Amino acid sequence: MEKGSVFAMALEQLNSAAKLLKLDDNILRVLSHPERELTVSLPVVMDDGNIEVFTGHRVQHSSARGPCKGGIRYHQNVTLDEVKALSTWMTWKCAVVNIPYGGGKGGITVDPTKLSDNEIRRMTRRYTVAIMPIIGPHSDIPAPDVNTSSETMGWIMDTVSMMRGSTVLDIVTGKSVELGGSLGRREATGRGVMFNTIELLKRLDKDPKKTTVAVQGFGNVGSVSADLLSKEGCKIMAVSDVSGAYYNPNGLPIADMIAYCTTSKNRLLEGFSAAGISKISNEELLQLDVDVLVPAALEKQITIENAEKIKAYAIVEGANGPTTPDAERILIKKGKHVVPDILANSGGVVVSYFEWVQSIQSFFWTEEEVNKNLERVEVDAFDAVWTLAQREKQDLRNAAMMIAVDRVAKAVKARGIWP
Ligand code: GLU
């Protein structure tokens, strides 16, 4: 496996849970291999007439419990190894919240800030056609992820619909509401982060109104997490994006910052100013003296380099894979609580599931219904993980993984290995 492999990190987490579950080695071998990995070349005519060729992937880790499900990301650091890891995490994520999906993920190696909207649209349509042989409403359902949005999903849905000759609503989730998307989907991942944080604070007998928070990342997940936690009374002391970290020990005006990003260049906080705000580095944000740290950016942000210096007693993983296993051991040893990605950021895929159900039935729910059902799923899943962690004297990741891996393993066993 390549050096610094993210998939190796996913396997390490799987092996740890497998050991605790005394999982049959045969089943472990099955779960250690993604079912299908597709790599595609994407020639795109750029606005200047030149042709660029981008590389994309779609990986299906497991379909044991249902269709593969997971987002598509556009980022310059996307690799097949990363997409394999992300698809594996999707399998556990869907299993821990008990929605009837397996795991998949896609990505294109591209810095979308360097492309025009028209170039991104052409690239998206080309990618869609390239992965069309393996996606479908009952086989693999994409959704947004880093640097993709409801707009991207609309293009994917339209491309598939044009190719098929009829409108296919349930091919993607995270669509805009006009295209059959679900109310509450955009905020769902951040809302799930909020529910998980509040549940943890309850178990630790802490008052949200006396809780300070730092959020790394101010995209869809980070910004909504910060907003909803501040509405619960938490003080958001710092947030960051690629333009840097913004800090105010008295609390940040999150609503103003979100409003600023709706019109700023590349939706970044660059240039935002308000009384009492100073700029700090991303590393300083991670090491701030706050109660809760929400890493909501990319993988491998908390590593052995900085884990000792993390002061927050709770880390709620809004991103996928932000903490390396070595770093997590340090945090756990110091008595910190890490709410793992597969649980903490599962709100997005849970409402994706609600959207898919609504699309299939062509019967749409109110936002209140969506949020209520999301709360029920998240609170129940948190409770199951917390209870198992207490009973088995395990950290929250091991407990979440034990529940998830056990469910997937049982599905694999019940189906049997074909032929
Ligand atoms: N990309 C999101 C995730 O990592 C959402 C996936 C989905 O809704 O299918 O969980």
C-alpha distances in Å from residue 230, one per residue of 238, 257, 291: 12, 13, 14
CA 181 to chain centre: 18
Atom of ligand 1 nearest to the CA of 345: 10
> Closest Cα partner for 56 from 1, 130, 116, 157?
130
| β partners of residue 302 | 323
> Closest Cα partner for 266 from 110, 117, 73?
117
Query: Is 46 buried (19+), middle (13-18) or exposed (0-12) by CB count in 10 A?
Result: middle
Residues 193 and 339 in one domain: yes
How far is residue 43's CA from residue 40's CA, in Å, rounded to a whole number?
Answer: 10
Residues 67 and 112 in one domain: yes
Contacts of 172 (CB under 8 A, 6+ apart): 141, 142, 143, 153, 156, 157, 160
Q: Is 320 in the pocket of ligand 1 (CB under 6 A)?
A: yes
Q: Is 142 in the pocket of ligand 1 (CB under 6 A)?
A: no
The amino acid at residue 189 is T
Predicted confidence at residue 2, as pLDDT, reads 67
Q: Is the pTM of this model over 0.85?
A: yes
Q: What are phi and psi of 256, to 5 degrees?
A: -65, -40
CB-CB contact of 6 with 82 (8 Å) = yes
Atom of ligand 1 nearest to the CA of 352: 8
Q: Is 102 in the pocket of ligand 1 (CB under 6 A)?
A: no
- Count: domains in the chain: 2
Residues 193 and 340 in one domain: yes
CB-CB contact of 213 with 290 (8 Å) = yes
Residues 212 and 270 in one domain: yes
Residues 119 and 88 in one domain: yes
> Closest Cα partner for 90 from 107, 75, 69, 63?
69
CATH code for position 158: 3.40.50.10860
Residues 97 and 147 in one domain: yes
Range of the domain at 240: 187-344
Ligand 1, atom 9, lies closest to the CA of 70
CB-CB contact of 89 with 102 (8 Å) = no
Atom of ligand 1 nearest to the CA of 89: 4
Residues 163 and 41 in one domain: yes
348 CA to middle of ligand 1, Å?
6
Atom of ligand 1 nearest to the CA of 146: 1
CB-CB contact of 290 with 214 (8 Å) = yes
With the most atoms of ligand 1 within 8 angstroms of its CB, the residue from 145, 175, 370 to mutate is 145
Q: Is 145 in the pocket of ligand 1 (CB under 6 A)?
A: yes
Predicted confidence at residue 1, as pLDDT, reads 67
Residues 256 and 163 in one domain: no
Residues 195 and 338 in one domain: yes
> Closest Cα partner for 315 from 186, 226, 196?
196
Residues 95 and 203 in one domain: no
Q: What are phi and psi of 99, to 5 degrees?
A: -100, 150
272 CA to middle of ligand 1, Å?
29
With the most atoms of ligand 1 within 8 angstroms of its CB, the residue from 352, 353, 356 to mutate is 352
Predicted confidence at residue 263, as pLDDT, reads 97
Residue 205 domain-assigned (yes or no): yes
How far is residue 216's CA from residue 223's CA, in Å, rounded to a whole number?
Answer: 9
Q: Is 185 in the pocket of ligand 1 (CB under 6 A)?
A: no
How far is residue 138's CA from residue 354's CA, in Å, rounded to a whole number?
Answer: 15
Residues 50 and 89 in one domain: yes
CATH code for position 245: 3.40.50.720
Look at residues 289, 318, 344 and tell me which one is the last residue of a structural domain.
344
The reply to whether omega before 295 is within 30° of 0 (cis) is no
Predicted confidence at residue 26, as pLDDT, reads 98
| β partners of residue 215 | 239, 294
Neighbours of 91 (CB within 10 A): 33
Q: Which two tokens stand for residue 101?
A: 């999906």
**What strands lie across the sheet with 235-241, from one edge to the other?**
278-280, 244-247, 235-241, 212-216, 292-295, 314-316, 337-339
Q: What is the pLDDT along the chain (419 residues), one digit of tens a residue?
A: 667 899 999 999 999 999 999 999 999 999 999 999 999 999 999 999 999 999 999 999 999 999 999 999 999 999 999 999 999 999 999 999 999 999 999 999 999 999 999 999 999 999 999 999 999 999 999 999 999 999 999 999 999 999 999 999 999 999 999 999 999 999 999 999 999 999 999 999 999 999 999 999 999 999 999 999 999 999 999 999 999 999 999 999 999 999 999 999 999 999 999 999 999 999 999 999 999 999 999 999 999 999 999 999 999 999 999 999 999 999 999 999 999 999 999 999 999 999 999 999 999 999 999 999 999 999 999 999 999 999 999 999 999 999 999 999 999 999 999 99
CA 293 to chain centre: 16
How far is residue 11's CA from residue 306's CA, in Å, rounded to a whole number?
Answer: 23
Residues 202 and 230 in one domain: yes
Q: Is 38 in the pocket of ligand 1 (CB under 6 A)?
A: no
> Closest Cα partner for 109 from 167, 41, 158?
41
Question: DSSP E strands: which ranges in 265-362?
Answer: 278-280, 292-295, 314-316, 337-339
Look at residues 309, 344, 379 and tell me which one is the last residue of a structural domain.
344
Q: Is 69 in the pocket of ligand 1 (CB under 6 A)?
A: yes
